[in-house]
Amino acid sequence: MKRLLLAAGAVLLSAAQAQAPVLPLRIADITGQAGPCAPPGADLPAAQRAYVELLAQRLDTDVLSCPVADAASAARALASGAVDLARLDGAAFGPVSGETRSILTTRATGDLNRLPVVVAVPRAASAQSLGDLAGASLVFAGAQKANLDVPRRALADYGAADAFFGAQIVARDHEDAATRLRAGQAQALVLHAGAWQKLCRGDQPGEDLCEDLRVVWRQRPVAKGAWAIRTDMSDDRRFRLIGIHVAMHNESPQAFAWAAGEGAAEFEPTEAKALLAQGPTVGS
Amino acid sequence: MRRRSGVILAAIGLGLAGCGGEAKAPDGAWQSQMREVRMAVRGSEDDPMITRRLTAYKTYIGKATGLPVKLYESSDYNGTIQALSSGQVDIATMAGGGYANVDAQIGDLAQPILTVRQAEGDTGYYSGLLVMAESPYRTIQDLRGKTLGYVDFNSTSGYLFPRAVMREQGIDPDTFFGKSSFAGGHTQAVMALDNGQFDATIIQAGGGDPEHGFTTGAHYTMARRGVVELDDFRIIWTAGPIPNSAVVVRTDRPQPFVDAVRGAMAALPYDDPEVWRDIGQPDGAAYTAVTREHYAPIIKLRADDIAARRAGERR
């Protein structure tokens, strides 16, 4: 009898799950004044309406707009379960980083991916962290955005702007940069992670061409703003939200223009803590 | 006991009643239509390890979609093309030429959704004309009347694209070379060159550009495996960039599946960088969303090629 009950219960619960009402998507809307979540009104701008309608159609659910006073309020509403999606900055995200995660940011037109950046030193050097490189001379792996702009931005995000270091050389490419580091012309090598991978991958099985070097720091630039969700959102909804947003610039330019803002080329997924420095900042 | 059982069942029934009356599909309902995700992967002949490493990828996609994932391995280009065209698989990663072939067969029933944007911002790669380092050949003009190996009829970088560029440069690839044939794959093309069967062969080259040199491609991978010596080869001519491979889905699958799998794949380099590396993608690269328009030039090349063949014109 007990088995029968358990089996019946399992069947009924399964059926219940299959028939469970789909949850609405509640989006925090920073308006300066808090208010109850509600379906978008008739006076909604056309672009915002296009965004709401796209999400409603693709998620097959109601999309509600939830007015909040500011980003900090949006973050609190997200963490408490009052909204499901909110655009946050680092300051708003920090206090709720335990209950929420970022999923999307935007890539500006002409910008690159949020590249991981590597700082390496000769294996025998004493430096163990970014903080140990105060006043150290650097060599960058080229003048292109990926080799100079992105690494400088990532370093600055962790408190190590240009003034933190000593002399800086811009080499021809990653191999030239490594040669200069090995020749003692600089104390640390700075390059994006893809260039580091190319530099170190040997032509023979398992060969590591950078055994004489040591990575002391590896981080992506910190995202300035990102769309965040609660960590308990289902994988299904999270990945569908990401999948809809990353293609939005192609599929619904009007909705994209409203959601991503001026100057954005596309939505870009993020790691969970993209809005925060993911390691010590210099001086902290 | 019987009374208690009745109470339990009633409670469950009440719970069900409370959930009823909602017409919209719940999150996850699309999975019951799919039951499983069937992905075509082409066994990489120059890196057999890739198939083993795909296990982690399979696990990731399975967790993201909530469905079991079946990988369908194909040993040649046409296998992947036919698997997607026939609906045997739901999703496949293929070069632009392969997608063009699928497009010619089933049109809007297949749609490219993602391609890789490299760290430097590029979304393309190159064809290279590879010769032995010790050979006298320095330019493509030195190969007049010589033997040339192509990769495969369905290869974008190993056949379709370089032939079009040759024609643009005034070289008719069917009369300029003395003899040409298909090697069957990038690895086979390199091996045939190394064995003296060809004077030159077309290969794929990536991870760089003609000005700065390349770091990826069959002969680089083979060298890393110890099969050949990198210094034994030279690239003397390049064509490109060619749009990077596409992740292509069947559009007759539920839209939530397309959205979920696109989201999961796009999030991969950020959510699980190790799996991203495991599937052979470089650090700093990421997926970017594309449409058919991104591959329009390749579709046109393929259509022209097919039309010429049908017309009996030797090109």
CA distance B298 to B172: 19
CA distance B124 to chain A (A): 15
Q: Where are the alpha helices (DSSP H) in A201-272?
A: 235-246, 248-251, 253-260
CB A164 within 8 A of CB A96: no
Q: Do B264 and A243 touch (CB under 8 A)?
A: yes
Chain A residues within an 8 Å CB radius of B121:
112-113, 145-146
Using CB atoms, pick whichever of B1, B12, B289 lies closest to residue A9.
B12
In this prediction, residue A100 carries a pLDDT of: 98
Per-residue pLDDT of A82-128, as tens digits, reads 999 999 999 999 999 999 999 999 999 999 999 999 999 999 999 99
Amino acid at A193: A
Domain with CATH 3.40.190.10 in chain A: 21-111+223-269, 117-219
- Is A202 or B93 the better-scoring residue by pLDDT? B93
Cβ atoms of residues B23 and A62 within 8 Å = no
Over the Cα atoms of chain A, what is R_g?
24
- Tell me, yes or no, if the two domains B30-119+244-307 and B124-243 fold the same way: yes
Instruction: Tell me if the domain spanning A117-219 has CATH number 3.40.190.10.
Output: yes
- State both tokens at B117: 């944007």
Instruction: For residue B22, give Cα distances in angstroms to A58, A73, B19.
Output: 17, 31, 7
Break chain B into its structural domains and give their ranges.
30-119+244-307, 124-243
Q: Where are the beta strands (DSSP E) in chain B?
A: 37-42, 69-74, 91-94, 110-117, 124-132, 147-150, 179-182, 200-205, 233-243, 246-250, 286-289
A60/B267 CB distance under 8 A: no
How many beta-carbon pairs below 8 A join chains A and B?
180
Q: Which two tokens stand for residue B303?
A: 């259509």
Of the candidates B25, B212, B226, which has its C-beta nearest A205's C-beta?
B226
For the residues A265-280, what does the mean pLDDT come to? 96
pLDDT at site B302: 86
- CB-CB: which of A61, A115, A270 is closest to B24? A61
Chain A positions touching B259 (Cβ under 8 A) are: 58, 239-240, 243-244
pLDDT at position B112 is 98
> Is residue A210's pLDDT more than 70?
yes
Q: How far is B64 from chain A (nearest CA, A)?
A: 6
Give residues 198 to 237 of A whose Cβ lies within 8 Å of B. Answer: 198, 201-205, 207, 234-237
Whether A211 has a pLDDT exceeding 70, the answer reads yes
What is residue B110's predicted lDDT score, i.e. its pLDDT? 98
Cβ distance B284 to A193 less than 8 Å, yes or no, reads yes
Closest Cα in chain B, distance from residue A194 (Å): 5
Query: Between vectors from CA A87 to CA A84 and to CA A93, what angle results, nearest 5°?
Result: 90
Q: Which residue of A has its CA nearest to B63?
A: A235
pLDDT for position A15: 45
Whether residue A161 has pLDDT greater than 80: yes
Q: Quickly count: other Cβ atoms within 10 Å of residue A153's Cβ.
A: 18
Report the candidate in B146, B154, B232, B215 with the shortest Cα–Cα distance to residue B186: B154
Q: Which residues of chain B have pLDDT under 70?
A: 1-28, 42-52, 312-315
Q: Measure CB to CB from residue B283 to each of A60, A197, A246 and give the nearest one.
A: A197
Average pLDDT for A17-27: 73
Task: List, in order, residues 6 or more apart from B168 with CB less than 8 Å away.
Answer: none
Min Cα distance B169 → chain A (Å) is 30
The secondary structure of residue B209, as a DSSP letter, is: B
pLDDT at B27: 61
CATH number of B30-119+244-307: 3.40.190.10
Res. A283: pLDDT tops 90: no
Least confident range of A170-174, A226-230, B124-128, B306-310: B306-310
The CATH superfamily of A21-111+223-269 is: Periplasmic binding protein-like II (3.40.190.10)
Superfamily of domain B124-243: Periplasmic binding protein-like II (3.40.190.10)
Contacts of B19 in chain A (CB under 8 A): 16, 19-21
A45 at interface of B, judged by CB pairs closer than 8 A: no
* Distance of residue B177 Cα from the nearest chain A Cα, in angstroms: 31
Q: Are A165 and A138 in contact (CB under 8 A)?
A: yes
The predicted pLDDT at position B300 comes to 92
Q: What pLDDT sits at residue B20? A: 31
Average of per-residue pLDDT across A242-270? 97
Cis ω on the peptide bond leading into residue A151 (within 30° of 0)? no
Average pLDDT, chain A: 91
Q: Cα B131 from chain centroid?
A: 25
Which member of A20, A207, A250 has the closest CB to residue B289?
A250
Mutate to test the interface with B, among A6, A196, A198, A209 (most CBs of B within 10 A): A198
Interaxial angle between packed helices A235-246 and B49-65, expressed in degrees from 0 to 180 and rounded to the nearest 10: 110
